[in-house]
Amino acid sequence: MAEYYLYLKYLHYLFFISWMAVLFYQTRLYVYHVENMDKPDFVKVVEVMEYKMYHYIGWVALIGSFFTGILILIAMPDLIKTGHIHVKILVVILMAIYHLDLGRYMKQLKEKRCNKSGIFFRAYNEVPTIAMLIIIWVMIVNPF
């Protein structure tokens, strides 16, 4: 399976980039949503965008990232012995929790029971940026 490593890595990067795009944009949609609650027609459009982004792109990208990551570890089992992969796995698990949390906020927004502000979602939008920086750093620098 090692002969497929670079192809798996390529697919893993594509899924990861797609997943990060969803995590960045989903919260931006929530900013638009909460700041325009007085415009029901606009909110309806944003809700459709939120749903499609989260379910059709976000989940596919998350599952693809996990699946290809697992296949990479199967193809290159010695990777699990490196310290940096443990940091990456931890951060990816935290990102998956963040992803689930975005789903919770989407449901609250749809049911009009979310009390978070646009400022909150702007700040919350920085979480995946920090996670991405950590993952890229540990995978390129291999500090552990």
88 is in an annotated binding site: yes
Contact status, residue 16 vs residue 67, Cβ threshold 8 Å: no
Contact status, residue 67 vs residue 21, Cβ threshold 8 Å: no
- What is the Cα 62 distance to its own chain's centre? 7
State the CB neighbour count (10 A cutoff) for residue 29.
20
52 is in an annotated binding site: no
- Residues belonging to the binding site for heme are 12, 88
- Residues belonging to the binding site are 12, 88
